[in-house]
């Protein structure tokens, strides 16, 4: 988080702590327009932050990075005086995130959304809860693949065989009938 | 020791029940009286009509059939029984033992093996529709020679379609035997499938080298019968095969109608008391369903039953043109067909296209009112021909189908020899062969074809 804030650090040209704490360059400089406040933010984000003694007469060390908003306050402290009571101090701080971190936050949000859509979307679904989806698959044979084509063709062929047999029998019967009729006609002729 | 005491008890009801079997089955058990049948030659089936050189690798002690051998009472004369299943026995302690047809293990005696009974036969047929169609007589011959045999076919995807027309076939499986490098999964699958069906005989019309012979060997059939290459490629194939045929050329289909004559000769060979089996003619049977489908098809094309002439043999790069592998020059362009069809007066020509893309060409040349029917399978073509008045075709399966259904047919051939090869005994078949003079089908004399057209009217007058 310290780095996250770093990109948007607004370093006042007058106040710079790098000379005082060269090893703490990475650490966020707490800058404020109100110099009276020499205190880190109390927010958790800045928990790693040490209270910095800001040197009053620090050298101007040009930073390698440019500050986009040099004079924007990051913190605001409102002190309201109410008579007869203690002062009411409202302490506001603004956190700036880097591009990468914004991206990470959005990524996390999108992932959560997608996961949520899938998870909660599948919690209750008439199709997935239906017999259509939940029943045992297949055609009841318990086989993994169904090679039915050969069986269908085989039964068709045996059907064909039966058809031919019936035709043959019919022809024979027809022939017999013709013979019988011819015999009858002859008998009639003889009579 | 407990088992020995249990054994007679468990077996006794079965043994008493054996008397209920017909007694004719009983003496077939050769192990009951082994002295009665002292010597069985291992392969009496190999007694072929051609005096063929035996392969000494197969059995070094096989000196052929013993002329002095006496067949005892175990040897059953004649052909095999149609279905030799014993009658079903409800008193059997093992329940209702009912083996499927062709698998009755308990009565397959040694004598039946000697006789060479074939209960299940597998035919590996190489080639396309035409070659498979010409294999029909062989299947019929098998059925006649070995009553009750179950014939299965292994053929390419195109060739398998022909068996829609064959009532004698049980299973027809797709496996392209012509493929040089089959996919290993397919290969092993087919080997396992064939082995699991326990064939007695495997016939193959693919010219076998050592590879195909090994494939047939792995089916563990008793008789592995195959054509082999007529050249050095056959080296080693004989080791795995029990009977081999050497064709005249590397292309079996060039033999025409009788392309399988060597195999037919061997299958129809006379045995001890069975005379030589006559070779049946090519016959196709068409199912009612097929007829209905095709009827709706040609009704849509605008023709009526018995009033049209089928024109088949349109030039196309489609695989469904049903040519023979032995006659590659057997398709005519639509322009020639249009000229021929112009000579038809009483009948309406119906053009069979093997691919939908040809429809435009036909409409362009013949006219938009042309009757066109899209047919790719031999079954539908046969049904179409069956309802037609006749057929004009080049050398495609349509010729054989027309002859099989006794329809008048004008067959256009590139040369006269081809015509004689593919349509023998023309007069009986009511078929006119018109052949090109230049040995190229494209130069065919259209006037000669038109002159032959009255054949359709003659047949109409006869009917």
Task: Give domain limits for chain B.
Answer: 110-267, 288-462
d(CA B462, CA B430): 12
Does the beta carbon of B288 lie under 8 angstroms from any beta carbon of chain A?
yes
**Confidence at residue A34, expressed as pLDDT on a 0 to 100 scale:** 41
Let me know if B81 is exposed, middle or buried by CB neighbors in 10 A (0-12, 13-18, 19+): middle
What sign for the dihedral angle of Cα B364, B365, B369, B372? negative
Most confidently modeled of A47-56, B137-146, B268-277?
A: B137-146
The residue among B192, B198, B193, B159 whose CA lies nearest residue B178 is B159
Higher-confidence residue of A24 and B52: namely B52
Please, which residues have CB within 8 angstroms of residue A22's CB and are 6 or more apart in sequence? none
How close A180 comes to chain B (CA, Å)? 24
What tokens appear for B256 in the block?
A: 């025409």
pLDDT tens-digit readout, B21-65:
443 443 333 333 333 333 434 344 444 444 566 667 767 787 777
| Range in B106-110, B173-177, B237-241 the model is least confident about | B106-110
Q: How far apart are the first and last CA of chain B?
A: 81
| Residue percentage of chain A with pLDDT more than 90 | 19
| Confidence at A76, pLDDT banded by 50, 70, 90 | confident
What tokens appear for A20 in the block?
A: 């005082």
Does the beta carbon of A186 lie under 8 angstroms from any beta carbon of chain B?
no
CB contact under 8 A, B164 and A153: yes
A157, A158, A171: best mutation site toward chain B, by most B Cβ within 10 Å? A157
| Range in A173-187, B278-292, B395-409 the model is least confident about | A173-187
CB B58 within 8 A of CB B242: yes
pLDDT tens-digit readout, A132-158:
888 877 777 777 778 788 889 999 999
Please tell me if the domain spanning B110-267 has the same topology as the one spanning B288-462.
Answer: yes
How close B269 comes to chain A (CA, Å)? 27
| Confidence at A14, pLDDT banded by 50, 70, 90 | very low
The answer, yes or no, to whether residue A159 has pLDDT greater than 50, is yes
Torsion from C-alpha of B400, B404, B405, B406, nearest 10 degrees: 90
Give the helix, strand, coil percentages of chain A, each rounded to 5.
40, 5, 50
The residue among A94, A13, A24 whose CA lies nearest residue A60 is A13
Higher-confidence residue of B58 and B216: namely B216
| Confidence at B4, pLDDT banded by 50, 70, 90 | very low
CA distance readout (Å), B1 to B5, B7, B363: 7, 10, 88
| Angle between helix B378-386 and helix B397-404 axes, rounded to 10 deg | 50
| Residue percentage of chain B with pLDDT more than 90 | 60
| Range in A58-62, A146-150, A156-160, B80-84 the model is least confident about | A58-62
| Confidence at B81, pLDDT banded by 50, 70, 90 | confident
CA B444 to chain centre: 32
Most confidently modeled of A27-31, A33-37, B92-96?
A: B92-96
B101, B175, B287, B377: best mutation site toward chain A, by most A Cβ within 10 Å? B287
The answer, yes or no, to whether residue B212 has pLDDT greater than 80, is yes
Does the beta carbon of B167 lie under 8 angstroms from any beta carbon of chain A?
yes
CA distance readout (Å), A143 to A129, A147, A148: 24, 10, 11
What sign for the dihedral angle of Cα B436, B440, B441, B447? negative
A145, A148, A152, A153: best mutation site toward chain B, by most B Cβ within 10 Å? A153
pLDDT tens-digit readout, B363-397:
999 988 899 999 999 999 999 999 999 999 999 99
Give buried/exposed letters for A104-136 (b at 16+ CB in 10 A, else e).
Answer: eeeeeeeeeeeeeeeeeeeeeeeeeeeeeeeee
The answer, yes or no, to whether residue A42 has pLDDT greater than 70, is no
| Range in B66-70, B423-427, B439-443 the model is least confident about | B66-70
Report how many helices (DSSP H) and strands (DSSP E) chain A contains, helices first: 4, 2
pLDDT tens-digit readout, B192-206:
999 999 999 999 999
CB contact under 8 A, B164 and A150: no
What element of type H or E holds A26? none
Q: Mean of the per-residue pLDDT values for chain A? A: 71
Q: What integer is the mean pLDDT of A25-40?
A: 42
| Confidence at B145, pLDDT banded by 50, 70, 90 | very high
Fold of B110-267: Rossmann fold (3.40.50)
CB B350 within 8 A of CB B372: yes
**Confidence at residue A66, expressed as pLDDT on a 0 to 100 scale:** 60
Answer yes or no: pTM beyond 0.80. no
The answer, yes or no, to whether residue A54 has pLDDT greater than 70, is no
| Range in B32-36, B109-113, B209-213 the model is least confident about | B32-36
CB B122 within 8 A of CB B152: yes
Q: What integer is the mean pLDDT of A96-119?
A: 92
Q: How many residues does chain B have?
A: 463
**Residue at token pair 């009977």:** B243
The answer, yes or no, to whether residue B11 has pLDDT greater than 90, is no
CA A152 to chain centre: 46
Higher-confidence residue of A76 and B41: namely A76
Strands B308-312 and B201-208: unpaired
Domain B288-462 is found in CATH 3.40.50.2000: yes
Does the beta carbon of A170 lie under 8 angstroms from any beta carbon of chain B?
no
State the count of interchain CB pairs (< 8 A) between A and B.
31
CB B124 within 8 A of CB B143: no
How close B171 comes to chain A (CA, Å)? 6
Q: What integer is the mean pLDDT of B273-283?
A: 91
d(CA A56, CA A22): 16
């Amino acid at each position: 988080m310290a780095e996250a804030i770093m990109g948007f650090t607004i370093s006042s040209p007058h106040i710079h702590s790098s000379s005082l704490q060269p090893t703490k360059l990475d650490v966020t400089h707490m800058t404020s327009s109100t110099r009276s406040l020499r205190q880190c933010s109390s927010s958790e984000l800045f928990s790693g932050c040490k209270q910095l003694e800001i040197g009053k007469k620090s050298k101007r060390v040009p930073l390698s990075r440019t500050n986009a908003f040099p004079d924007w306050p990051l913190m605001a402290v409102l002190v309201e005086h109410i008579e007869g009571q203690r002062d009411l101090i409202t302490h506001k701080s603004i956190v700036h995130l880097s591009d990468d971190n914004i991206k990470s936050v959005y990524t996390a949000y999108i992932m959560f959304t997608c996961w949520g859509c899938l998870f909660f979307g599948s919690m209750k679904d008439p199709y997935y809860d239906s017999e259509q989806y939940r029943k045992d698959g297949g055609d009841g044979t318990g086989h993994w693949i169904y090679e039915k084509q050969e069986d269908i063709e085989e039964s068709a062929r045996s059907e064909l065989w039966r058809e031919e047999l019936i035709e043959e029998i019919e022809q024979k019967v027809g022939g017999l009938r013709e013979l019988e009729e011819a015999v009858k006609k002859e008998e009639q002729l003889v009579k | 020791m407990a088992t020995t005491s249990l054994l007679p008890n468990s077996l006794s009801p079965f043994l008493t029940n054996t008397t209920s079997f017909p007694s004719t089955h009983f003496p077939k058990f050769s192990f009951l009286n082994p002295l009665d049948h002292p010597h069985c030659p291992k392969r009496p089936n190999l007694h072929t009509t051609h005096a063929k050189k035996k392969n000494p690798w197969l059995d070094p002690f096989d000196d052929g059939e013993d002329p002095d051998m006496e067949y005892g009472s175990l040897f059953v004369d004649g052909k095999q029984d149609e279905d030799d299943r014993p009658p079903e026995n409800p008193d059997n302690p093992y329940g209702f033992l009912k083996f499927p047809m062709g698998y009755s293990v308990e009565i397959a005696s040694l004598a039946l093996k000697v006789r060479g009974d074939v209960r299940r036969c597998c035919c590996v047929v190489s080639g396309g529709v035409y070659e498979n169609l010409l294999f029909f007589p062989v299947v019929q011959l098998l059925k006649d020679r070995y009553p009750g045999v179950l014939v299965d076919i292994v053929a390419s995807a195109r060739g398998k379609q022909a068996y829609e027309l064959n009532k004698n076939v049980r299973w027809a499986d797709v496996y392209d035997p012509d493929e040089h490098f089959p996919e290993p999964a397919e290969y092993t699958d087919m080997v396992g499938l064939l082995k699991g069906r326990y064939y007695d005989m495997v016939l193959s019309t693919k010219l076998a080298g050592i590879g195909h012979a090994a494939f047939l060997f792995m089916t563990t059939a008793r008789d592995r019968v195959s054509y082999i290459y007529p050249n050095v490629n056959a080296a080693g194939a004989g080791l795995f095969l029990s009977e081999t045929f050497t064709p005249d050329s590397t292309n079996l289909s060039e033999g025409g109608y009788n392309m399988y004559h060597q195999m037919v000769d061997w299958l129809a060979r006379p045995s001890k008391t069975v005379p030589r089996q006559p070779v049946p003619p090519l016959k196709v049977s068409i199912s009612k369903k097929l007829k209905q489908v095709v009827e709706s098809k040609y009704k849509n094309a605008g023709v009526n039953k018995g009033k049209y002439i089928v024109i088949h043999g349109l030039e196309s790069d489609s695989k469904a043109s049903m040519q023979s592998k032995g006659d590659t020059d057997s398709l005519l362009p639509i322009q020639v067909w249009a000229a021929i069809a112009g000579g038809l007066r009483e009948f309406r020509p119906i053009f069979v296209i093997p691919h939908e893309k040809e429809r435009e060409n036909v409409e362009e040349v013949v006219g938009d009112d042309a009757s066109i029917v899209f047919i790719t399978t031999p079954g539908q073509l046969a049904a179409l021909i069956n309802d037609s008045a006749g057929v004009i075709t080049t050398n495609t399966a349509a010729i054989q189908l027309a002859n099989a259904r006794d329809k008048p047919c004008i067959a256009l051939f590139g040369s006269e020899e081809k015509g004689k090869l593919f349509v023998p005994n023309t007069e009986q078949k009511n078929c006119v062969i018109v052949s090109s003079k230049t040995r190229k089908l494209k130069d065919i004399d259209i006037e000669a074809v038109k002159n032959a057209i009255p054949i359709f009217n003659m047949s109409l007058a006869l009917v």
